[in-house]
Amino acid sequence: MIEFCQEAEKSPLYDRLSNEQTYLSDMNSSQDFKKKIADYAVGKTMVDIGPGGGVMLELLTRHHPGATVIGIDIAVNVVEELKRKKQRENAEWEVMQGDALKLEEQIGKEGADTIVFSSILHEMFSYIPYEGEKFNHEVIAQTLKSSLKALRPKGRIIIRDGIMTEPEEEKRIIRFKDPQGRPFFKRYVGDFKGRTITYHSAGDDAVLLNVNDAMEFLYTYTWGEEAYPHEVQEQFGYFTPSAFREFIEATLGDQAEILLFEHYLQDGYEEHLAHKIELTDETGKPVRLPDSTCFIVIEKKY
């Protein structure tokens, strides 16, 4: 938890969500996923976990006038900066320091109607040791269980985060157009903390590797050197769609229902990478990037 807090305080890289929409909208007219989150939010008390620069807090407040909107962050400096922003702008939303693994203690049992996790669960998965182990799915389980306890009946958990692709055993060839691409890749393989990346050479300018390992690398390659020290610490995709659905159902049981489960490729990624790489299957046939993002809405039944 201490390491997660320290990483959270490394601004501006920590507010990846705000940076991401800016950079994707510059490349293409990407869908407004924040607006979609606001559309699915319900009730009078809405909680945004890991609010970063406060964009989601502002959107929820604007689209749900009269609702109490609260941002909860583990990092002291993030909370303090948001409090300054609130004062400067006379904002109606609130912010507090808190632990997403113990939400029912932070906001009370059945104290919220909507809890939002927008591009934050993968950060928790990557940085928070659970039972002495980072990159542990039990961090996600504990967070979901705590969120369910904090929700009122008919309340919702909304998740927007990274997704792996399936079938997992598929392979991809990354052919680098930039001469610095392969050295960047080799450095990444040595530095990535999420898991061991194995690959084979497919020529002087190309590598063959598992499809999900390829995608993890391409997330970092997309962001480039500025974000590199932060990105190699994180695993963006931590479940395939079918595994994530099964995990949610097993974790929350019959007390919760999945209302919406979508996954998609975020607009702009392919265009941004087009001048850097060519992606093919094992035979050399060009293929699209797989889905990178999931959008999930879970409702508490009772």
Residues paired with 150 in a beta bridge: none
142-151 per-position pLDDT tens digit: 999 999 999 9
pLDDT interval class at 267 (50, 70, 90): confident
pLDDT surpassing 60 at residue 18: no
What is the CATH classification number for the domain harbouring 154? 3.40.50.150
155-201 per-position pLDDT tens digit: 999 999 999 999 999 999 999 999 999 999 999 999 999 999 999 99
- Does residue 147 belong to any structural domain of this protein? yes
The whole domain housing 79 covers 2-163+238-266+291-300
- Does residue 68 belong to any structural domain of this protein? yes
Domain count, the chain: 1
- Does residue 184 belong to any structural domain of this protein? no
pLDDT interval class at 268 (50, 70, 90): confident
- Does residue 48 belong to any structural domain of this protein? yes
Mean pLDDT computed over every residue of the chain: 91
CB-based contact 222:269 (threshold 8 Å): yes
Please tell me the predicted confidence (pLDDT) of residue 244.
Answer: 98
pLDDT surpassing 70 at residue 9: no
- Does residue 275 belong to any structural domain of this protein? no
pLDDT surpassing 90 at residue 25: no
- Does residue 71 belong to any structural domain of this protein? yes
d(CA 224, CA 85): 29
- Burial (CB count <10 Å: 0-12, 13-18, 19+), residue 265: middle
pLDDT surpassing 80 at residue 137: yes
- Does residue 251 belong to any structural domain of this protein? yes
Q: Which secondary structure element, helix H or strand E, spans residue 133, and what is its range? A: none
Please tell me the predicted confidence (pLDDT) of residue 2.
Answer: 45
Q: Pick the residue with more confidence: 15 or 246?
A: 246
- Does residue 154 belong to any structural domain of this protein? yes
